[in-house]
């Protein structure tokens, strides 16, 4: 895998040594890869993007693009000389230029023939060749985004950065654009980093997802790995939902009130842990003599989310099919069979 | 696609492989920007600083005799004049503002454009026309005497004449500001009042008027400051105010220090008003201009149509039709006007080029200043804002005086050239240019500049290719405002011009003093024509801007 982006121990503070926006972030992105930076607002994901783009100057660490150092403690290559494409949250199309002129904007150093061809290619790729003469106010949100993407891709940047690319779109448009953008990026073979607070978006589009929390990169891995084996409690809660039940390691098993799970991590006997349980790991079995009680049911369209109280008084959540109705207050048995057993030490707040 | 990409990369590697080292910054500014900021602050603040130093140099004895003698009465007179003129302008401006924006008065669009015309008529020309009409030998007093009256029916000279004229020719500020606030106010608020059982009158008093307060305050402030700073109109109308007294001290008694002391008092007074206004606005937020939302409710006038029309005609008549008719009457014939133009074309030329140079310089400086203020928050921006707003606080007479004091002492080779005149216009009207481009710039998303930089443009190229094209209407509007204001400026020109360098306003001044009313009137008409034209252009541009967003 050829490296396109390398961040090493990058930090950024705002307000004269005040609040740390990001701390010691290290990250490598390979050629053609699509990486999502996921986190709640204020976690530093946009700052990371802006540091890579060259709109912010890091306070520490180094950034390499295509094997060239673009920022460290001595060097700072400004945005216009980094060869990075950027798609802004509000698209930032130039309102005084047509769609075509927007796409052409980054090709000012190309000769006319080549740039003309390139503009056609880029507009074609995003499927907007027919609307090239329109101004941004004559385009819908989705069309504006396509223009923004074509504009970013046209100069063939080493990497395209997308800042919350779908947050300004309506729900139905968003689903469509996710697929389209993913297809376009793949087709162009472009390396891309995008920032989002929407886990579904990140899991769907990205080859790898990096989860940020309070300026730190908590975990970066493939979407299924992030979901099934989160490295921290924060990741477990932020990506999908999770309950944590106490357990005790006894040799090959971890004993909990939901049964004994295999000790996959090889934890020492006698260790008190908390086991992560996803709602889709819990099965509700009709049993009038069951020890658990249904507390609430929330119908969510595609499924029912049940809150179930265990004999200990602890509650866990269970996701059931949309037609599976169990009344609140009903006695029920709980069965669980997680494929991945994820444990965190009880006394540690992060692990 | 992939092939194209590889080629692009190679090109980039060939062109952009240079290492760029971190550039030094002073705070958030590059050295060039910091230098520019310092230059502008020096340019704008130094005359005033020097003035205060000169005022203090007048010594405690001179100062105390001044303060105990004429100053208190002068202060009372000036404040009285400004207050009455402001009230009069409010009375003239608010009803037409409401009628023209919120009722179905026929021809209201044309009236709104005509309502701006008094801005093209400088109050000193207005004063001339009213002296013609209501002066001791004017038609009104003559008719009165012919009917057997003795003495004068009206006396235009003095405080009430000053109030009459200043209000009549400054109310458009209030009409403009109140009009646009009324136009952009949220109809839902009035609908809520109506749902609560209020009629049109109740809605106006309880909802519309309170919401108008910020714009009325801003308009009143403009009128009040204008009245404080006016020199020419009050001179013609023989009202003694600070500005006329300063001129008197300077030109007949040749007492620069006394003039400086008086000026300092006047500037402090103006600053006090400005600070009070800032505080007032600080507590209340501005009425936010909405775009693309529901237009405000239009009330049918019904049988109020005739009174509304009469009210509108009276205001416009007194401030536009009557003065222009009187000027035409005074000028005599078209031949006189052409003759004035032919023999005095160099005065027109002097006016045009000084105003154009000042407007251009102001626009360039304003772009720099508003960019720094908008894009680089911090103390530098605040300092620059304050420095460039100083022009508002300096009446033309005071500015003329302080520039003379400063440049005569330190840069004598500029003193006595037309550059002084340009400099005077520039400093006095820079705030208008800054406002124009700052307002436009605040509408431009900084992301657009970043997008341009991401596409390979330097900050400078981004400014040139993206920002400037987008804020051009605001810059043009600012340029036009400075141009119009400069071309009308009399007091500063009188003090700063080199001997024999006459502009149109100076010609009007001289002709009036020489009691050559035909020349004064025809020169006035030429001046009004030169200012009315850009005023209409700016109005067109204004509608162009609102179409853009």
**pLDDT of B544:** 41
Would you call A80 and B8 a contact, using CB atoms and an 8 Å cutoff?
no
Range B48-286+307-331 has CATH code 1.10.3720.10: yes
Please report the pLDDT score of residue B142 as a whole number.
Answer: 84
Q: Closest chain B residue to A4 measured between Cα atoms?
A: B9
Query: How many other C-beta atoms can be found within 10 angstroms of the C-beta atom of residue B332?
Result: 14
pLDDT of A89-105, one tens digit each?
989 999 889 999 999 99
Q: Is the dihedral of CA B46, B49, B55, B56 positive or negative?
A: negative
Per-residue pLDDT of chain B (549 residues), as tens digits, is: 333 333 333 333 333 444 456 655 555 567 778 888 888 888 888 888 888 888 887 666 666 666 666 788 888 999 999 999 999 999 999 888 888 888 888 888 888 778 777 878 889 999 999 988 888 888 888 888 888 877 778 888 999 999 999 999 999 888 888 887 887 777 777 777 778 778 777 887 888 888 888 788 888 888 998 899 899 999 999 999 989 988 888 887 777 778 888 888 888 888 888 787 777 655 444 444 444 456 677 778 778 888 888 888 888 888 888 999 999 988 888 888 888 888 888 999 999 999 999 999 999 999 988 888 877 666 777 788 778 878 877 888 888 988 988 888 888 888 888 999 999 999 999 988 888 888 888 888 888 988 998 898 888 899 899 999 988 888 888 898 899 889 999 999 999 999 889 999 999 999 988 888 888 999 999 999 888 888 777 666 554 443 333
CB contact under 8 Å between A76 and B8, yes or no, is no
Two tokens, residue A238: 């932020």
- At residue A80 the predicted structure's pLDDT band, cuts being 50, 70 and 90, is confident
The mean pLDDT of A96-125, rounded to a whole number, is: 92
> Does A109 contact B at CB distance below 8 Å?
yes
Domain residue spans in chain B? 48-286+307-331, 332-549
Q: Does B450 touch chain A (CB under 8 A)?
A: yes
Q: Quickly state the pLDDT bin for A347 (edges 50, 70, 90).
A: low
The interface residues of chain A toward chain B in range 52-71, judged by CB-CB distance below 8 A, are: 53-55, 57, 66, 68
Residue with tokens 């023989």: B238
ipTM of predicted assembly, 2 dp: 0.81
CATH assignment of B332-549? 1.10.3720.10
pLDDT more than 70, % of chain A:
97
| pLDDT tens string A225-254 | 999 889 998 999 899 888 999 999 998 889
Q: pTM for this structure?
A: 0.80
Q: Which residues of B touch A145 (CB under 8 A)?
A: none
Please report the pLDDT score of residue A16 as a whole number. 57
Q: How far is B532 from chain A (nearest CA, A)?
A: 30
d(CA B441, CA B438): 5
pLDDT at position A17: 56
CA distance A152 to A323: 46
A344: enclosing H helix or E strand: strand A343-345
Phi-psi region of A91 (alpha: psi -120 to 50; beta: other; left: phi over 0): left
pLDDT recorded at residue B541: 55
* Side-chain half-sphere exposure of B221, counting CA atoms within 13 A: 21
Domains B48-286+307-331 and B332-549 agree in fold: yes
- Going by C-alpha positions, the residue among A107, A99, A97, A159 that lies closest to residue A127 is A99
Identity of the residue in B2, B18, B459 whose CB atom sits nearest the CB atom of A189 = B2
Residue for token digits 């039709």?
Answer: B321
> Is A155 an 8 Å CB contact of chain B?
yes
Q: State residue B9's pLDDT score.
A: 36
Chain B contact set for A79 (CB, 8 A): 450, 453-454
The pLDDT of residue B292 is 44
- Which two tokens mark B183? 């136009």
Please report the number of interchain residue pairs, chain A to chain B, with beta-carbon separation below 8 angstroms.
107
> Which pLDDT score, from 0 to 100, does residue B68 have?
64
B480's tokens = 């036009």
């Amino acid at each position: 895998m050829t490296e396109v982006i390398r961040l090493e121990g990058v930090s950024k503070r705002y307000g004269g040594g005040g609040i740390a926006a990001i701390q010691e972030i290290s990250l490598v992105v390979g050629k053609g890869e699509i990486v999502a930076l996921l986190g709640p607002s204020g976690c530093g994901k946009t700052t990371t993007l802006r540091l890579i783009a060259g709109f912010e100057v890091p306070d520490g660490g180094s950034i390499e693009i295509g094997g060239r150092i673009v920022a460290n403690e001595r060097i700072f290559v400004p945005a216009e000389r980094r060869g990075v494409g950027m798609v802004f949250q509000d698209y930032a199309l130039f309102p005084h230029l047509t769609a075509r002129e927007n796409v052409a904007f980054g090709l000012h150093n190309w000769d006319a023939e080549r740039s003309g061809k390139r503009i056609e290619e880029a507009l074609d790729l995003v499927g907007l060749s027919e609307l090239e003469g329109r101004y941004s106010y004559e385009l819908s949100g989705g069309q504006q985004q396509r223009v923004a993407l074509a504009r970013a891709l046209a100069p063939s940047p080493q990497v395209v950065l997308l800042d919350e690319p779908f947050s300004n779109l309506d729900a139905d448009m968003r689903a469509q654009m996710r697929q389209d953008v993913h297809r376009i990026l793949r087709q162009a073979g472009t390396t891309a980093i995008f920032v989002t607070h929407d886990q579904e978006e990140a899991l769907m589009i990205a080859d790898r997802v990096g989860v940020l929390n309070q300026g730190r990169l908590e975990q970066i891995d493939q979407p299924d790995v992030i979901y099934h084996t989160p490295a921290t409690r924060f990741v477990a809660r932020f990506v999908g939902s999770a309950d944590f039940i106490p357990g005790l390691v006894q040799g090959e098993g971890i004993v909990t009130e939901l049964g004994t799970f295999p000790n996959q991590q090889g934890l020492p006997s006698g260790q008190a842990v908390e086991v992560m349980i996803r709602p889709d790991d819990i099965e509700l079995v009709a049993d009038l003599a069951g020890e658990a009680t249904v507390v609430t049911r929330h119908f969510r369209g595609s499924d029912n989310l049940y809150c179930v109280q265990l004999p200990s008084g602890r509650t866990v959540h269970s996701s059931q099919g949309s037609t599976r109705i169990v009344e609140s207050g009903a006695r029920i048995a709980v069965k669980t069979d997680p494929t991945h057993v994820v444990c965190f030490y009880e006394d540690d707040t992060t692990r | 696609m992939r092939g194209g990409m590889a080629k692009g990369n190679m090109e980039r590697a060939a062109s952009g492989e240079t290492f760029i080292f971190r550039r030094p910054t002073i705070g958030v500014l590059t050295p060039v920007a910091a230098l520019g900021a310092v230059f502008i602050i020096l340019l704008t603040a130094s005359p005033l600083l020097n003035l205060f130093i000169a005022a203090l140099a007048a010594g405690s004895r001179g100062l105390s005799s001044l303060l105990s003698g004429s100053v208190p009465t002068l202060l009372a007179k000036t404040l009285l004049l400004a207050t009455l003129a402001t009230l009069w302008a409010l009375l003239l401006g608010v009803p037409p503002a409401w009628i023209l924006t919120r009722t179905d008065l026929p021809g209201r669009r044309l009236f709104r454009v005509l309502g701006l015309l008094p801005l093209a008529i400088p109050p000193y020309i207005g004063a001339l026309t009213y002296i013609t009409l209501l002066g001791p030998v004017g038609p009104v007093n003559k008719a009165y005497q012919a009917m057997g009256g003795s003495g004068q029916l009206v006396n235009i000279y003095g405080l009430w004449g000053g109030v009459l004229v200043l209000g009549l020719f400054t109310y458009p500020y209030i009409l403009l500001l109140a009009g646009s606030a009324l136009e952009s106010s949220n109809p839902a608020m009035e609908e809520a009042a109506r749902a609560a059982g209020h009629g049109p009158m109740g809605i106006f008093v309880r909802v519309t008027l309170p919401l108008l307060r910020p714009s009325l305050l801003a308009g009143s402030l403009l009128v009040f400051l204008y009245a404080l700073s006016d020199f020419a109109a009050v001179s013609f109308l023989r009202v003694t105010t600070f500005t006329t007294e300063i001129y008197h001290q300077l030109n007949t008694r040749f007492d620069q220090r006394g003039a400086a002391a008086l000026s300092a008092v006047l500037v402090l007074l103006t600053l006090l008003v400005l600070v009070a206004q800032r505080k007032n606005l600080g507590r209340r937020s501005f009425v936010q201009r909405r775009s693309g939302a529901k237009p405000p409710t239009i009330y049918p006038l019904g049988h109020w149509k005739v009174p509304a029309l009469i009210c509108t005609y009276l205001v416009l008549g007194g401030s536009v039709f009557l003065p222009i008719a009187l000027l035409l009457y005074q000028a005599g014939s078209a031949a006189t006007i052409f003759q004035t133009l032919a023999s005095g074309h160099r005065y027109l030329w002097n006016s045009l080029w000084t105003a154009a140079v000042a407007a251009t310089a102001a626009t360039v400086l304003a772009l720099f200043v508003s960019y720094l203020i908008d894009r680089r928050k911090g103390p530098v921006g605040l300092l620059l804002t304050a420095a460039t707003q100083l022009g508002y606080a300096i009446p033309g007479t005071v500015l003329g005086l302080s520039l003379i004091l400063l440049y005569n002492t330190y840069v004598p080779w500029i003193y006595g050239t037309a550059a002084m005149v340009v400099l005077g216009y520039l400093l006095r009207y820079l705030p208008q240019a800054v406002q124009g481009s700052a307002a436009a710039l605040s509408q431009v998303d900084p992301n657009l500049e970043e997008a341009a930089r991401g596409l390979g443009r330097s900050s400078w190229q981004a400014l040139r290719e993206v920002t400037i094209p987008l804020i051009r209407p605001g810059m043009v509007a600012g340029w036009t405002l400075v141009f119009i204001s400069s071309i009308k400026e009399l007091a500063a020109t009188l003090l700063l011009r080199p001997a024999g360098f006459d502009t149109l306003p100076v010609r009007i001044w001289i002709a009036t003093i020489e009691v050559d009313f035909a020349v004064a009137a025809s020169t006035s008409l030429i001046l009004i024509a030169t200012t009315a034209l850009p005023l209409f252009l700016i109005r067109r541009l204004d509608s162009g801007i609102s179409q853009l967003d």
